[in-house]
Structure 1
Amino acid sequence: MRNRFIRSLTVAAAALVACTGIASAEWPEKPITFVVPYSPGGGFDAYVRAVAPEMEKILGTEVVVENIPGAGGQKGASTVYRSDPDGYTIGIWNVPGLTVPQLLGKSTGYDLTDVTWIGNLATSNYALAVKADSPFNSLKELCSQGKPFKHSDTGPASTSSVTARVAMTLIDCPIQNVTGYKGSTDTIIGLMRGEVDATIKPLAQLLKYRKSGDVKILMTFEETRSAEDIPTSTELGYPDFANFDLRRIVGGPPGIPADIQEKLSAALLQAADAPSVQEWAASSNNALDPVGAEEASAIMQRLMDFYGSYKDVLAQ
């Protein structure tokens, strides 16, 4: 309810700015590129392709989805960051995955403290899953097999990789991160093929494979249950795990004018509220948690501080 109220205020503010003539009245004059820093078919791609058609209607111009995979999302992120700050190039950012290289002082081609944040589109809780016929029926069994359990992921900078490495280190559970998969769907398929022991992925995504009988979910990273028959990390004695989640935050290059930032933010929020997007979210079990530019900026500052406290673990 609070988020819906905030969105209403954001939309109203954008309309007021436009009416007073402060906004760039001629913007947009050409198509907007919406970058997804991963291959087609994954979760980030699905969210962007759901809202892009509605943003087109709202902004009155084409919104072109462009997939730029590579370097765990860094290639697409740096492409957005280096673009002209005119609002015609924006992207969806994987957080905390894209925070890690910067926190470790690596060359990334972007600086998250300078990104023009437009809004948070979704927040996803994680879950730990194994193959349906796996001999492991609990996190304790997985961690007590006498060797590191193999975990599938796209790369060390991915959000689920960050979650897995930090969370398992906190409980002294040996883990071997097996990377190189093209997207989150491929990591789950790798699990189903028996290439790894387990994977940590968004709960909504894993529930679909659980329903088809391909995986079993051992634990969710939550305080309270969202799935009645799956225990939470808090119940199992790991309350800190609930702090790890996946943010799908939309941002553009540094220096986008405030009025264009506001137009983009309002369009994103309106698109997320559109009936077609709401229906997609419900039918696909992909939760929406849209907030505007100001709150997204505050979220990013908090997350940078939070994950910065685990730099030693992430550097391992």
Structure 2
Amino acid sequence: MITPDGAEIYIADQKDGLILWQDLQEPHGGFSTIRIGQETGSGWTQGEPSRLVFLPEKSYRRAQIVVTDVKFNSIVFIDQLTKRVVRRISDVGFAPRTIVVTPDGRKAYIGSEQPIPTGSIAILDLNHPIPHLEDKRISVPSPEGMAIFGRRLYVATQSGGGNDPVFIVDTVSDKVKSWIPGFAVGCNIAIVPPYGKKIYVARGNYPLSSIGEEKQSPLGVIQIGSWPRYQEKVSQPIPLAFNVPLVIVTKDGKTALVANGDKITAIDTRNDHVVGRSINLSSEADGFAVSKDRVYVWLPNDKPNPRLFTFDLRSAL
């Protein structure tokens, strides 16, 4: 995750229970670390940080980084200025793997994938100095990826017997309004700005077809109609290399970047065509972000050590 001002990058290192962070204005300064975990009866026990989200500054709080901790079924708040853990909220669900914050910073949704095949989305009220969980939970099967546009929360899911839907939740009533079937295996979701007229759904290792010996997986595409009805229309999926776990869209809405296999592929959002050549990676990406035409890719399984791979979007594709 990159902060909105493009100054810092934060990475969840689930294996070692750490948040890595770096000042992007000092790229040769290296990473600093923040431990995620808890004191238990046997001493310090490391957590399993999964997803991160930025919480903007309000009159009653400083800017914070919020992290889901899969091991302790909790979320952790890190003060951006001091880089210290300032709060932990437990019992958000079983295996929380995804989190999003509404554009006004007043509410967060935490998706927990288990117990399979149920899962749930917890609602966190952030409109107070001390955030608290609401009693209500939104029931969806194994939510793995979420994205918000306006008052609509889109949720990519799994455990739907090969027909996993994208659920649409109204963020005012916090009720499921509708769903779009046929998006197995939903891992991640991205909305094309600035008007939110298109959604891309990363569908993991779902097999699409094969070209010779090469397996392929699809990137799902959903067109969104205009206000007030916002009718959804499913478009032809985009075939990519096998395993499509991650998708993001540039701030200008012109390009979608997709992790597929050991590649990063760019998609022109106007016509859903692949742009230029794919960027080959030395191992599969576990996360990536883009800021000011610079793409940052986290490669935790790179040998001999995990590393952050970067390239310029304008010249590389």
User: Whose helix fraction is larger, Structure 1's or Structure 2's?
Assistant: 1
Q: TM-score under structure 1 normalisation?
A: 0.27
> Highest Rg: 1 or 2?
1
User: Whose strand fraction is larger, Structure 1's or Structure 2's?
Assistant: 2
